[in-house]
Amino acid sequence: METTKKSQIVGIKNAGIVIICCFIVAVCIYQFLLGNPSNFMNNDPNNHPLNMLGTIYKGGVIVPVIQTLLLTVLALSIERYFALRSAFGKGSLAKFVANIKEALATGDLKKAQEICDQQRGSVANVVTATLRKYEEMEKNTALPKEQKLLAIQKELEEATALEMPMMQQNLPIIATITTLGTLMGLLGTVIGMIRSFAALSAGGGADSMALSQGISEALINTAFGILTGALAVISYNYYTNKIDKLTYGLDEVGFSIVQTFAATH
């Protein structure tokens, strides 16, 4: 009886919990670290800041929102690192693919299975499932060769489809933050500029603090928004490239298995 296949990739399935936790942390940082009275003149958050922490606090309510996005990118990037590391398995992927192809070239399926057991990871899982179907088709005398090849190819595709969603999990959220982070920064900038123009229209030296706070809010949110978007883009492209590399390895090994069966049967 065929055993039920299950992806062995480790990862966080509920990213909503991560986002909520990041929001709580961001609010705590904003209130207790950035908003600490010691960061401002006369220990009053309404006065001018004395350091960078106080200056960031002056960015306004958009700051914890952007910080939430920034922390989410960092948290999910770390999560994807460990998830994809388990997907690649032990050792070099290129060496694993070469060893599997060498074992298939000599018709040694047992050695190929031993290599998979040592490597583990997503590629090894797919190859193991395909090798089982390979052996099953070898013992099958009822089906013609073309249908056997199709059965092996189908098993390869099903095993790959089982692994791919877990590898790509949470990446759409990072991709969304690439745009959302910049937009939140722009929103904070617009709010800050509105405050600045309001202070200018009021006139008088009494509004110089409001003008300063509006400019700080605009610049701080711009900086945080750009930083968040940049980190999200780097993270998304980096992990997408790693997934593509793993997919190429899957395609290469799968093609070798099918070609080996076609050449030897």
Taking a C-beta distance cutoff of 8 angstroms, is the pair 92, 114 a contact?
no
Backbone angles phi, psi at 49, to 5 degrees: -70, 150
Taking a C-beta distance cutoff of 8 angstroms, is the pair 69, 228 a contact?
yes
Question: What does the alpha-carbon distance between residue 205 and residue 175 come to, in Å, rounded to a whole number?
Answer: 45
User: Which amino acid makes up residue 11?
Assistant: G
Taking a C-beta distance cutoff of 8 angstroms, is the pair 88, 121 a contact?
yes
Quickly tell me which residue has 């092996």 as its tokens.
152
SS3 46: coil
Q: What is the pLDDT along the chain (265 residues), one digit of tens a residue?
A: 344 445 555 567 788 899 999 999 999 999 999 999 998 888 988 888 888 898 888 888 899 999 999 999 999 999 999 888 888 888 888 888 888 888 887 878 888 888 888 888 888 888 888 888 888 888 887 888 888 888 888 888 888 888 888 888 899 999 999 999 999 999 988 888 887 787 777 665 545 666 777 787 788 899 999 999 999 999 999 999 999 988 888 888 888 888 887 777 7
Give the pair of three-digit tokens for residue 68. 């939430």
SS3 40: strand
Taking a C-beta distance cutoff of 8 angstroms, is the pair 80, 242 a contact?
no
Question: What does the alpha-carbon distance between residue 124 and residue 127 come to, in Å, rounded to a whole number?
Answer: 5
Domain boundaries in the chain? 62-265
SS3 49: strand
